[in-house]
Structure 1
Amino acid sequence: MTRIHKIVIATFFIISFSLNAQGQSKSDEKQVHQLIQNMFDGLFSGFESAKIPEFMTEDFILLEDGMIWDNQIIKNYLDSQKAKPNIPTRVNRFEFIQTKISGDRAWVAYKNWATVTSNGQVIREAHWLESGTAIKTADGWKLEMLHSTPVEIEKL
């Protein structure tokens, strides 16, 4: 095998490895984004506290507007909301600003909007600037921490 052939083959393997790594990173990025969407839809729209272990690590914390929430506090909140009559509907929307994947760890920054309706009428609109960390487990990506800062919605 000539030197040129060896260089071509080596270049091919390097490019293939690089493309595969980029593809995996994009796949992981999409999974982390979907984790955020599914967590908010399942927990803060659906109030399904049994799904907490599906989305969050056992030591998860949420830093929410000066308060610290762990899984038990979140469970208590979700269960109390689900017990109320006439639960409003919450629709979540996200704009992902940046996501970084490094092996089995990820961090993500995004804008989060929620529209809450009851009987077809908007009763609340909220907007947050949020960041979080996640870890890839045998069961997939799980959130370790979220930090949430409310953003004032301008009056129209």
Structure 2
Amino acid sequence: MNRKEFLTGAGAMAGVAFLPASLQAATAEEAEEIRAFVREVYRVYSVTMDPVAYRALLAEGYLLLEHGEIMTVDQDVAALPKPENDFKRTDGFEFHQVKAAGDMAWAVYTLRSDIYDSKRGARHRDYLESMVLRRSGKGWQVALLHSTRIEPARK
């Protein structure tokens, strides 16, 4: 494990450690609201591809942990797909856990994505993700997103 991997893992664990101890399974209504919000984040990212709308879904201090890197809101927004690349993506979600306490929540889910763009062609990707949410006057916003690609089994 290199230093960057250690710091990424330690940062994620520290973030989870500060979540309220009272975090518990969300009510059915809360859970559906949170699942709908998670889907909306991906819709805005990969269908709308609107940097202003996407940024509005991200909390102040937002971090993305992906590919062994820690990315800021500016880095994530800069990575938005470009419509001119004929980008198309269909996402499917399998939610494993949704918990909430007051103005904090998290969702753990598997994301299955079919992706196409003119530069790299068609591909399928599976990810195990956790999203930490914070509720503000604007509704839910993403505070932390951790994404781990699930590699296909080798034959």
Q: TM-score, normalized by length of structure 2?
A: 0.74
Contact 1:134 1:145 in 2 (8 A): yes
Please report how far the alpha carbon of residue 76 of structure 1 lies from its aligned counterpart in structure 2 after TM superposition: 1.4
2:39 aligns with 37
Please report how far the alpha carbon of residue 51 of structure 1 lies from its aligned counterpart in structure 2 after TM superposition: 1.1
2:74 aligns with 72
Q: Deviations over 1:96-137 (max 9, x none)?
A: 000111111101110001101359xx7110000011210111
SS in 1 for 2:79: helix
Q: Deviations over 1:68-94 (max 9, x none)?
A: 11110112112xx316x3422101111
SS in 2 for 1:147: strand
1:132 aligns with 131
Contact 2:86 2:116 in 1 (8 A): no
- Letter of the aligned partner of 1:134 in structure 2? L
> Percent sequence identity over matched residues?
24
In 1, Cα distance between equivalents of 2:152 and 2:122: 14
Q: Deviations over 1:4-34 (max 9, x none)?
A: xxxxxxxxxxxxxxxxxxxx83222111111
1:152 aligns with 151
In 2, Cα distance between equivalents of 1:54 and 1:25: 25
- Letter of the aligned partner of 2:72 in structure 1? D
Count, aligned residues: 128
**Aligned equivalent of 1:46, options 45, 48, 59:** 48
User: Within 5 Å, which residues of 2 pair with 1:77-116?
Assistant: 77-78=79-80, 81-82=81-82, 85-116=84-115
In 1, Cα distance between equivalents of 2:70 and 2:110: 20
In 2, Cα distance between equivalents of 1:118 and 1:138: 36
In 2, Cα distance between equivalents of 1:32 and 1:57: 15
Structure having the higher helix fraction is 1
Q: TM-score, normalized by length of structure 1?
A: 0.73
Q: Where does the alignment leave 5 or more consecutive residues of structure 2 unmatched?
A: 1-25
SS in 2 for 1:135: strand
**Aligned equivalent of 1:56, options 48, 55, 58:** 58
Higher-Rg member (1/2) = 1
